[in-house]
């Protein structure tokens, strides 16, 4: 339980139980959400931050109390070092008399890698413009390019399997509700089968229509949902939306053309 029962919270409770007197931590004027605290730890690893933002749900955006913020070891160490203990006679003393540094070694500077340059945001918008170009070409040539939908919705379906497993089956805290489950869902894998089998493409058309409406609502509420969305998620959401919109329109034109042919 990484927020409420981990390697920082357990020693904290042991220390508090072993103290005779009243333990008082320094008063902090500002408190942050769990997500802000976690993202501050991963700020030099953009892909890790992106992954955390996908799997951590709405409860992570709640502001943590001072006591809850100490689930992070660095914050616990800072609070413990400045805490005071007041005995039964009202005399206060510092909890920590002195600090001994066990090692003077420092971490090596982080080396820039390809993933640091090709960030989630760059990746997301690259995918979006590729999808947009393929869709525009399909509109111009009259081709749907279904392989694009197989890859895009298949990848979203695999991501949805992970998100839904964490939301509905795992016992991790702060993962449900998760609004990312509206666009990353395992049902996309079923949809790929609908797109691929000619006799089921009518059902695929209905799926695209429902997906288009669902994502349109999500986009409209993007800034109002009580959960932080990683900026790199928006172009991926738009990619799914554009493909569903294109397939709905293309199918409608196809139905009209077939109707006119049989008149």
User: Phi/psi at 183 (nearest 5 deg)?
Assistant: -110, -20
Q: At what angle do helices 146-168 and 46-55 cross, to 10 degrees?
A: 70
Q: pTM score, two decimals?
A: 0.89
Give, for all 263 residues of the chain, the pLDDT tens digit: 889 999 999 999 999 999 999 999 999 888 999 999 999 999 989 999 999 999 999 999 999 999 999 999 999 999 999 999 999 899 999 999 998 888 887 777 667 677 777 899 999 999 999 999 999 999 999 899 999 999 999 999 999 999 999 999 998 889 999 999 999 999 999 999 999 999 998 899 999 999 999 999 999 999 999 999 999 999 999 999 999 999 999 876 555 444 444 44
What the block records as the tokens of 47 is: 């892909």
- Which SS3 state, helix, strand or coil, does residue 23 take? strand
Q: What does the alpha-carbon distance between residue 23 and residue 4 come to, in Å, rounded to a whole number?
A: 20
Q: What does the alpha-carbon distance between residue 137 and residue 228 come to, in Å, rounded to a whole number?
A: 34
Q: What does the alpha-carbon distance between residue 22 and residue 227 come to, in Å, rounded to a whole number?
A: 37
Q: What is the pLDDT of residue 80?
A: 95
């Amino acid at each position: 339980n990484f927020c409420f029962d981990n390697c920082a919270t357990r020693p904290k409770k042991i220390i508090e139980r072993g103290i005779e007197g009243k333990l008082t931590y320094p008063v902090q004027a500002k408190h942050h959400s769990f997500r802000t605290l976690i993202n501050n730890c991963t700020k030099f690893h953009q892909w890790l931050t992106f992954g955390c933002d996908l799997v951590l749900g709405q409860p992570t955006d709640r502001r943590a109390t001072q006591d809850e913020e100490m689930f992070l070891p660095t914050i616990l160490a800072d609070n413990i070092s400045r805490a005071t203990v007041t005995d039964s006679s009202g005399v206060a003393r510092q909890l920590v008399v002195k600090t001994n540094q066990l090692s003077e070694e420092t971490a090596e500077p982080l080396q820039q890698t390809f993933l640091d340059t090709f960030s989630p945001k760059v990746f997301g918008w690259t995918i979006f413009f590729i999808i947009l170009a393929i869709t525009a070409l399909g509109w111009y040539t009259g081709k749907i390019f279904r392989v694009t939908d197989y890859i895009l919705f298949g990848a979203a379906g695999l991501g949805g399997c992970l998100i839904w497993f964490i939301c509905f089956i795992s016992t991790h805290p702060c993962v449900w509700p998760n609004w990312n489950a509206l666009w990353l869902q395992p049902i996309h894998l079923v949809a790929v089968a609908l797109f691929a089998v000619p006799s089921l493409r009518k059902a695929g058309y209905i799926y695209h229509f429902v997906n288009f409406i669902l994502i349109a609502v999500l986009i409209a509420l993007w800034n109002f949902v009580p959960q932080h969305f990683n900026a790199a998620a928006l172009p991926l959401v738009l990619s799914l939306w554009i493909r569903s919109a294109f397939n709905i329109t293309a199918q409608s034109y196809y139905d009209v053309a077939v109707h006119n042919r049989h008149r």
